[in-house]
Amino acid sequence: MSLLFEPLSIRGITARNRLWVAPMCQYSAVDGVPQEWHHTHLAQFASGGAGIVIAEATAVTPEGRISPEDTGLWNDAQRDAWSPIVAAVHARGALAGVQLAHAGRKASTWSPLTGRRGSVPHDRGGWTTVAPSAVAFDGFADPVALDAPGIERIVSAFADAAVRAVVAGFDVLEVHAAHGYLLHQFLSPLSNRRDDEYGGELEGRARLLLRVVTAIRDAAPDTAVFVRFSATDWADGGLTVDEVATVAAWAAERGADLFDISSGGLVAHQSITVGPGYQVPLAAHVRRTTGALVNAVGMIDDAAEAEAVLADGAADAVMAGREWLRDPHYALRAAWELGHDIDYWPAQYVRARPHARS
């Protein structure tokens, strides 16, 4: 019996398996509105057997977009455009999630599809970015430090976006506190130089994230809430996995259901040695320390490797990104490779099922 294909229940929902699609930015929205590309992109993974399909980092304010081409949930037009996409994922048997995000000082940047790097000038559609402190990411424009009213607007924007996401039909709300974006910027001492209640020791640096989790839980009391963390900055003096485990425990007390453990992205001088499953030990540490549900992510591109992550007790589920792009039917393939029979092959594709009669 494959652990990877055991269902997992979380706050009233049940994922049909534990091989999920990580959020991956497509840089293809118009005014924050997802397009036909997003519909096809996300629905194909559900056809391919994913347990949960999580949509890309979706900004809670216009200024929270990584690029002008990012998706959003700050208005009802965006909500209504997401609704049929969510329905398509559901129709194919998967749960649908969305990653609620604010890019902070890493906002207003050129989409990688343009081949450019750095901040978009104001006269080309860019905007002034915000951050915990007026400290720029290397090569990007200087941000403005958020004041108290600005912080209140951020918390409200996450809650409002959560309500829109629930109306659109999403089953999972993932709070993006990783990869150097705003909530991660507050968590790390490398980017948070504040001397007020949102800075200093870990409790202060975690305050905004915890307020966001609380606001989302209050706005969506019955919906599963995940938090994606960068468990280390891979840089001296940065956020550590022990600190992240502590913050995760605090977030669980405020209603977070699962922690999605990634790493890095805060500073350009990070030093990472990557390889298959290189972030799995970080997930294992958070799971062991908190006792909470955790998923692992990062170069877990092989069915046997994914199964081993669960068998070793390192995580409760596995997310993948690039492997789903290479093979949108990763879960169907993985079930066959692990010798596990599943009953959710699309009827239209059964003729291609291994050992099926033609």
Q: Residues 6 or more apart from 147 whose CB is under 8 A from it?
A: none
Q: Which residue is it, tokens 């929205």?
A: 29
Contact status, residue 140 vs residue 105, Cβ threshold 8 Å: yes
In a domain, 231, yes or no: yes
Q: Is 181 a catalytic residue?
A: yes
Dmax (CA) of the chain: 69
**Predicted pLDDT of residue 1:** 81
pLDDT tens for 37-91 read 999 999 999 999 999 999 999 999 999 999 999 999 999 999 999 999 999 999 9
Supply 344's token pair: 């959710």
**Which of 111, 9, 11, 3 lies closest to 56 in space, CA to CA?**
111
What is the chain's length? 358
pLDDT above 90 (res 137) = yes
CB atoms within 10 A of CB 160: 17
In a domain, 357, yes or no: no
| 93-97, 205-209, 271-275: least confident range | 271-275
In a domain, 35, yes or no: yes
Contact status, residue 190 vs residue 235, Cβ threshold 8 Å: yes
Which residue among the candidates 181, 278, 330, 344 is catalytic per the annotation? 181
Q: What is the CATH number of the domain that holds 29?
A: 3.20.20.70
H or E element: which one contains 80? helix 76-91
CA atoms within 13 A on the CB side of 218: 11
In a domain, 292, yes or no: yes
In a domain, 358, yes or no: no
CA–CA distance, 320 with 299 (Å, rounded to integer): 7
Overall domain count for the chain: 1
In a domain, 22, yes or no: yes
pLDDT tens for 97-123 read 999 999 999 999 999 999 999 999 999
Q: List C-alpha distances in Å: 258 to 2, 89, 211, 228, 287.
A: 21, 21, 17, 9, 10
pLDDT confidence tier of residue 358, bands split at 50, 70 and 90 = very low
C-alpha 309: how far from chain center: 19
CA–CA distance, 156 with 329 (Å, rounded to integer): 38
CA–CA distance, 187 with 178 (Å, rounded to integer): 9
Instruction: Determine the structural domain holding residue 212 and report its residue range.
Output: 3-352
Which parts of 119-195 fold into alpha helices (H)?
A: 148-168, 182-187
Supply 131's token pair: 């951050």
In a domain, 96, yes or no: yes
In a domain, 238, yes or no: yes
